[in-house]
Amino acid sequence: MLLFGNQSTGLTAIYPLINQERWNLSIKGGVMSEIAVLKDIAYFGGGDGYFYAVNVNNGNVLWKVDLRTPFFAKPTFENHRVFIHTALGMVIAFDAQTGKRLWHYKRLLPGTPKLIGAGTPLISQDELIVGTSDGSVIALHTNDGHLLWEKSLHNKTSSRFHDVQARAVLDNGILYIPAYDGALYALRRSTRDILWRFDAGGAKSILIEKERLFFPSSDGTIYALKKDNAQVLWKFQLDGGVPTPLESANDYLLFGSSYQFLYVLNKNTGEGLYRFHVGHNSGFTGSFALDSGNSKLYALSRSGNLYAFKIQKNVPTSFFDF
């Protein structure tokens, strides 16, 4: 079963191998956040201002909570609890089964311009780590939401947005997180010391494989960097727009642009292997869904079209349609 949501029809479940609808849940304002699934329950934010828990087998609403605030980030789970981060700087913990509110934390944000959206929390041990729109990374205790530490990543010389929206990635005691106003940071988890910074901003998380990382930056470039010192291994410039989050399959890096294309790169060299045109200004903004078992990739375009792609091995470079 494949779940997807948009702002016109709400939440839809289909049988992807035969492209047949299983059920549809109509929601006023549609689905605004990324969808997270725990066991047989899907959690997401609706355009009507509610946070939903829905049975994925039949589309029945198990519970919903009126947030009275925009909610765009993907929910996070830990020990039968679900955590969300709203666009107005509030982190809320709910009981995943009942929807009972357990605690909340409200960040006092300055009156500066902010991006639409919010960072997705990362759970590590008893810490909920999340970026904020004032240019900081904070850690809250998962049991009661009290503030454990905070680290400012705000570039004071920048006049752009200060938001830290990407989900932090933790690898061998190092936190990797980009800030939108100009840099990707590597922080030592224990001390929050900055080990290195790479001068390209972003609002999407990095992807780590062994000793390298892949970074979709807000300047429309995909970077492959050495994990320990941010040395550039290769870079790829999009035709326009900003990239979606990255997916990895075989030797491929798969992603879309908000402009008009889906791309497939050789992740070892950065060489373009394939490009699919979905229409001018009808590209992609959300995450793709990768079905590794069936070698399928699913992508929902900005114009509301759902695409299914078959991932093949050994694609020749001549398939790239420049």
pLDDT, tens digit (0-9, with 9 covering 90-100), for 267-320: 999 999 999 999 888 899 889 999 988 899 999 998 888 999 998 876 555 444
Q: With bands split at pLDDT 50, 70 and 90, how would you rate the model's confidence at 322?
A: very low
- DSSP type of residue 305: -
- Give the pairing type, strands 272-277 and 81-85: unpaired
Place of tokens 């699913």: 298
User: pTM, whole model, 2 decimals?
Assistant: 0.90
Q: Is the dihedral of CA 83, 57, 300, 309 positive or negative?
A: positive
Q: Encode pLDDT of 135-145 as tens digits.
A: 889 999 999 99
Half-sphere exposure of 49 (CA within 13 A, CB side): 5
Q: With bands split at pLDDT 50, 70 and 90, how would you rate the model's confidence at 257?
A: very high
Q: Please state the separation of Cα 84 from the chain's center in Å.
A: 13
Residue 37, φ and ψ in degrees, nearest 5: -120, 130
In DSSP terms, which residues pair with 136 in a beta bridge? 152
Candidates 242, 306, 283, 236; CA nearest to 264 is: 236
